């Protein structure tokens, strides 16, 4: 059998057992004699037996494959979320198939189409910054493929979701700077229309209003490319002579700290406080260390996959929403006393 993939029938023939008995032993079902189970597993290991998931899916009408689409894999939050999903998938006997949209709505829609063609049992998605069209998700509903959002979502699409309370976290970050005596706080905001960016902006605005700290539209600059155009936006905001900057993410905060130290007379945090968002490792190695909101990426991944599996297996009629909390971590970039 060196050049042939070993099948359950091969194992059954060698052991002189029925195919169903071998199958139950491999699945560790309780109605199998322990000696029989041991013999089956030993032979399967010795012959390098691998389950034929395609054949099983045709029989069970279930692939046990879950698709996942993220904007970017190489970020701290999404890599942690994927790690959490992988942990749950291993525990529950599912397999994950990843796609990256690269923040592109067309690429995201194509990823959805390709994953659906692979007969996935369900889909988890965090939408790109360009995504506005609900049509790809409505097609999933028409095909009867369970899907749900995590972290980023489309508000108007009726689906379950696991998100972080971006609004409350942003509010706490700005409130912290206000309580440190800052009265001219600007916001390096994210792309307009993206759910997480919009919620962080609302948190900034409501904190400023609650404490009667004046601000104008000029105090807000949208970084449509996140940190990749944040320096250009930062330079415009510095014309307002701010004493505080709330950044949409940690890389933008790090860029701000390094620019202020190298190119201006501003001292961080004495003259200007800076707070980021996400909890990226880079926030700890810049000098001074960046205050930030740490998002529970791993927990988001765990809870999102658990929820989706529940929808796949139990088919509930109602959508669900789980909101997790971010944690404000105060470091040297924003705290004087």
Q: Do 29 and 80 lie in a common domain?
A: no
**Arithmetic mean of pLDDT over the chain:** 93
Q: Do 312 and 242 lie in a common domain?
A: no
Q: Which residues pair with 69 in a beta bridge?
A: 99, 125
User: Distance between CA 226 and CA 105 in Å, rounded?
Assistant: 16
Q: What is the residue-wise DSSP string for 143-155?
A: HT--EEEESB--T
- 180 part of a folded domain: yes
Give the per-residue pLDDT at 1.
41
Q: Do 128 and 83 lie in a common domain?
A: yes
Mean pLDDT of 59-73: 84
- 57 part of a folded domain: no
Q: Is 206 exposed, middle or buried (0-12, 13-18, 19+ CB in 10 A)?
A: middle
Q: Do 254 and 288 lie in a common domain?
A: yes
27-30: long-range contacts at Cβ-Cβ below 8 A with a sequence spacing of 24 or more? none
- 171 part of a folded domain: yes
Give the per-residue pLDDT at 130.
96
- 336 part of a folded domain: no
318 pLDDT above the threshold of 70: yes
316 pLDDT above the threshold of 60: yes
- 306 part of a folded domain: yes
pLDDT band for position 211 (50/70/90)? very high
Is the peptide bond preceding residue 288 cis, with omega within 30 degrees of 0?
yes
pLDDT band for position 61 (50/70/90)? low
Q: Are 66 and 123 in contact (CB under 8 A)?
A: yes
Q: Are 190 and 222 in contact (CB under 8 A)?
A: yes
Q: Do 257 and 237 lie in a common domain?
A: yes
Of the candidates 326, 314, 68, which has an alpha carbon nearest to the alpha carbon of residue 199? 326
- 275 part of a folded domain: yes
Mean pLDDT of 285-305: 98
**3-class SS shares of the chain: helix, strand, coil, % to 5:** 45, 15, 35
Give the per-residue pLDDT at 206.
98
30 pLDDT above the threshold of 90: no
Q: Do 174 and 266 lie in a common domain?
A: yes
- 120 part of a folded domain: yes
Q: Which residues pair with 164 in a beta bridge?
A: 324
Q: Do 170 and 287 lie in a common domain?
A: yes
pLDDT tens per residue across span 90-134: 999 899 999 999 999 999 999 999 999 888 999 999 999 999 999
Of the candidates 328, 322, 321, which has an alpha carbon nearest to the alpha carbon of residue 295? 328
Structure tokens at 245: 């900057």
Q: Are 194 and 129 in contact (CB under 8 A)?
A: yes
The CATH number that applies at residue 26 is 1.10.260.40
Give the per-residue pLDDT at 95.
93
- 331 part of a folded domain: no
3 pLDDT above the threshold of 80: no
Q: Do 112 and 147 lie in a common domain?
A: yes
In b/e form, how buried is each residue of 106-142, taking b as 16+ CB within 10 angstroms?
Answer: ebbbebbeebbeeebbbbbbbbbbbbeeeebbeebee
Q: Do 291 and 308 lie in a common domain?
A: no
User: Domain range for residue 125?
Assistant: 64-164+297-325
Q: Residue 76, Cα to own-chain centre: how many angstroms?
A: 9
Total count of domains within the chain: 3
Mean pLDDT of 252-267: 97
From residue 164, give the alpha-carbon distance in Å to each of 1, 75, 167, 327: 52, 16, 9, 10
Q: Do 219 and 310 lie in a common domain?
A: no
157 pLDDT above the threshold of 80: yes
User: Distance between CA 277 and CA 151 in Å, rounded?
Assistant: 14
Of the candidates 229, 159, 146, 239, which has an alpha carbon nearest to the alpha carbon of residue 188? 229
pLDDT band for position 241 (50/70/90)? very high
Q: Do 157 and 39 lie in a common domain?
A: no
Q: Do 83 and 117 lie in a common domain?
A: yes
The CATH number that applies at residue 228 is 3.40.50.2300
181 pLDDT above the threshold of 50: yes
User: Distance between CA 49 and CA 36 in Å, rounded?
Assistant: 17
Query: What is the H or E stretch that residue 246 is in?
Result: strand 244-247
Mean pLDDT of 257-278: 97
Q: Side by side, which strands form the sheet with 185-189?
A: 220-222, 185-189, 244-247, 273-275
């Amino acid at each position: 059998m060196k050049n042939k993939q070993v099948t359950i029938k091969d194992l059954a023939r060698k052991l002189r057992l029925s195919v169903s008995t071998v199958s139950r032993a491999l699945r560790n079902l309780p109605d199998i004699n322990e000696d029989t189970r041991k013999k089956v597993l030993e032979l399967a290991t010795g012959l390098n037996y691998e389950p034929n998931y395609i054949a099983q899916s045709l029989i069970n009408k279930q692939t046990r494959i879950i698709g996942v689409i993220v904007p970017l894999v190489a970020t701290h939050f999404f890599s942690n979320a994927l790690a959490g999903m992988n942990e749950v998938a291993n525990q529950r006997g599912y397999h994950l198939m990843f796609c990256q949209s690269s923040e592109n709505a067309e690429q995201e829609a194509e990823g959805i189409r390709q994953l659906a063609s692979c007969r996935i049992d369900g889909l988890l998605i965090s939408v790109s910054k360009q995504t506005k069209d609900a049509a790809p998700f409505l097609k999933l509903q028409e095909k009867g493929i369970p899907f749900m959002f995590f972290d980023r979502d489309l508000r108007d699409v009726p689906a379950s979701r696991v998100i972080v309370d971006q609004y409350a976290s942003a509010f706490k970050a700005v409130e912290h700077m206000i309580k440190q005596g800052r009265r001219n706080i600007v916001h390096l905001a994210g792309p307009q229309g993206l759910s997480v960016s919009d919620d962080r902006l609302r948190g900034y605005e409501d904190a400023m209003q609650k404490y009667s700290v004046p601000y104008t539209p000029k105090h807000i600059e949208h970084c449509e490319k996140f940190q990749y155009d944040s320096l250009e936006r930062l330079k415009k905001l510095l014309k307002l002579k701010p004493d505080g900057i709330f950044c949409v993410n940690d890389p933008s905060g790090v860029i701000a700290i390094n620019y202020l130290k190298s190119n201006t007379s501003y001292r961080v945090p004495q003259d200007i406080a800076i707070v980021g968002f996400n909890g990226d490792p880079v926030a700890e190695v810049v000098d001074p260390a960046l205050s930030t909101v740490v998002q529970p990426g791993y927990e988001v991944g765990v809870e999102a996959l658990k929820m989706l599996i529940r929808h796949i297996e139990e088919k509930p009629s109602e959508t669900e929403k789980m909101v997790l909390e971010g944690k404000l971590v105060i470091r040297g970039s924003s705290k004087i006393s």
